[in-house]
Structure 1
Amino acid sequence: MDLGLDGDAALVTAGSSGLGLASAEAFATAGADVAVCGRTPEHLESARESLESLGDGDVLAVEADITDREQVEAFVDETVDAFDGLDHVVTSAGGPRSGPFLDMDDEDFYHAYDLLVMSVVWTTRAAHPHLAAGDDAGSVVNITSRSVQEVIDGLVLSNSVRRAVIGLMKTQADEFAPDVRVNAVLPGAHETSRITDLVEQSVERGEFEDYEAGMDAWSQGIPLERVGDPSELGETVAWLCSDAASYVTGTAIPVDGGSMRSV
């Protein structure tokens, strides 16, 4: 399907790895100019090379910490300057610290809030004038987690803090309309480097015979009987930003192989 994103400008926070990178790759494949940020120079360089190999659009890779407002705003400004505008924003972030409630102190909650919520506030506030200025409707997609609908054991920070992004998304979908559409995706397990590392560590500890056995364990309870490929999440994000989803806003879409049991 031609998503009609050729020549558009897309910005992806924390887009140098994981699901953010998968989303950036979907935009690049569709012919868009793509800007990503991250904190690790090696990851940024690898992401830049990958994105440049996928399409004819321009690529911008910027070192920035999304828990720092000034760095986020500078990233948006640099993207707009480089691409002469901005059409789509995807907010992504690494996962906060895992563990039960009583293991978390105040700083863990404050950091998680900056990482997961304020990064979205700063990005969308800075991007909105540019998204609304285009001839076609701009778009925002927030990558969150299925934990916003169904709590996950041992992830108190994700379970509690990420839900604020959904409230923000619903509010912005109303306030930004009709110039900008705002949606969210709720990923389940995908074979990102984080899961790959966890499985490999489990194999080293002798918990699984090999990598395939570890991935099979991660697939338990998923009706589609497998962990997702990051590209499947990325393609969903790109679709939500395209004209094919032009009547979709204020929606949170699970991308989890059917693992979510809540209604």
Structure 2
Amino acid sequence: MQLDIAGNAALVTASSSGLGKASATALAKQGVDVVINGRDEERLADAVEEIAAVAEGRVVGQQGDLTSETDIDQLVERTIDEYGQLDHLVTSAGGPPSGPFDSMDDSDWYEAVDLLLLSVVRLARKSSDYLAAGDGGTIVTITSRSVKEAIDSLVLSNSVRMGVIGLEKTLSKELGPEVRANAVLPGPHETRRIQDLIEQSIDRGEYESYKEGLEARSEEIPVGSIGDPEQFGETVAFLSSPHAAHINGVALPVDGGAGASNL
């Protein structure tokens, strides 16, 4: 499906792997010029090469830490320097440490807020004028299904990501009509992390094959499988396009129906 965003420019954070990379790939396939980001220089270079191989748009990488305001400024500035515009912002970030409430001290909480919430605040603040200057700016925040349903031993994610949803909803009102803001809440997807976890389970003797491990992780998902990262990326690209022009302020679960929340 052609999304009519060819020639636009996008910044996608935490996109050297996982769902951020899938989102950047989907945008690049639609002819969007993309800046991708990661902390590991070698992994970032590999991701640029992989995305560029299937892209209709241009792809560049910008190394940076999302807990650094300076690095965030440089990410946005690099996008403008390369492409002269910024039409779409996709925010993603790695997950904070897992563990129960009693295991987390103040430093853990501050670090989680910096990574998950303040990174989006700073990106939106730095990008908003550029996004509003085009013909249909968008922000898509990739968070987690934990904002709908608390996940055991993920107290930091359960708590702090809720702030991202509050921010996204506020931006959808304050930045409109020039800019739309939506959130995507992924459940399990077949990323490198899931693949590694299944391989580790095979090594421990829990499964005999990768297929068996994948099927076991899919049993409680109503659609019968964990998510395909490529399809997830296409969802982000759709929300960034004029075909989703009346979708604004939404927190969209992409979990195959696994969540138990009614809303």
**What TM-score do you get using the length of structure 2 for normalisation?**
0.98
* Correspondence for 2:117: 117
Map 1:17-32; keep pairs closer than 5 Å. 17-32=17-32
Name the CA distance, whole Å, in 2 between partners of 1:260 and 1:133: 37
* Correspondence for 1:212: 211
Identical columns (%): 54
* Correspondence for 2:149: 150
Q: Does 1:180 align with 2:179?
A: yes
Deviation of the 1:204 alpha carbon: 1.0
Quick check: 54-63 or 3-12, which moved more? 54-63
Deviation of the 1:105 alpha carbon: 1.6
Name the CA distance, whole Å, in 2 between partners of 1:155 and 1:57: 37
Map 1:232-251; keep pairs closer than 5 Å. 232-251=231-250
Deviation of the 1:95 alpha carbon: 1.1
Deviation of the 1:162 alpha carbon: 0.5
Deviation of the 1:56 alpha carbon: 2.9
Q: Does 1:6 align with 2:6?
A: yes
* Correspondence for 1:196: 195
* Correspondence for 1:35: 35
The aligned length equals 262
Q: Secondary structure at the match of 1:90?
A: strand
Deviation of the 1:212 alpha carbon: 1.5
Query: Which blocks of at least 5 consecutive residues in structure 1 are unaligned?
Result: none
Deviation of the 1:101 alpha carbon: 1.3
Quick check: 215-224 or 228-237, which moved more? 215-224
Q: Which amino acid aligns with 1:27?
A: L
* Correspondence for 1:84: 84
Deviation of the 1:202 alpha carbon: 1.3
Name the CA distance, whole Å, in 1 between partners of 2:42 and 2:214: 27
**What TM-score do you get using the length of structure 1 for normalisation?**
0.98
Deviation of the 1:109 alpha carbon: 1.1
Q: Secondary structure at the match of 1:185?
A: strand
Name the CA distance, whole Å, in 2 between partners of 1:128 and 1:113: 21
* Correspondence for 2:140: 141
Q: Secondary structure at the match of 1:162?
A: helix
Deviation of the 1:128 alpha carbon: 0.5
Deviation of the 1:62 alpha carbon: 0.7
Deviation of the 1:197 alpha carbon: 1.2
* Correspondence for 1:171: 170
Question: Displaced runs of 4+ in structure 1, greater than 2 A?
Answer: none
Name the CA distance, whole Å, in 2 between partners of 1:22 and 1:144: 14
* Correspondence for 1:260: 259
CA RMSD of aligned residues (A): 0.9
Name the CA distance, whole Å, in 1 between partners of 2:117 and 2:142: 11
Q: Which amino acid aligns with 1:125?
A: R
* Correspondence for 1:160: 159
Name the CA distance, whole Å, in 1 between partners of 2:155 and 2:220: 21
Deviation of the 1:104 alpha carbon: 1.4
Deviation of the 1:193 alpha carbon: 1.0
Q: Secondary structure at the match of 2:96?
A: coil
Deviation of the 1:220 alpha carbon: 2.3
Q: Does 1:53 align with 2:53?
A: yes
* Correspondence for 1:131: 131
Deviation of the 1:224 alpha carbon: 0.7
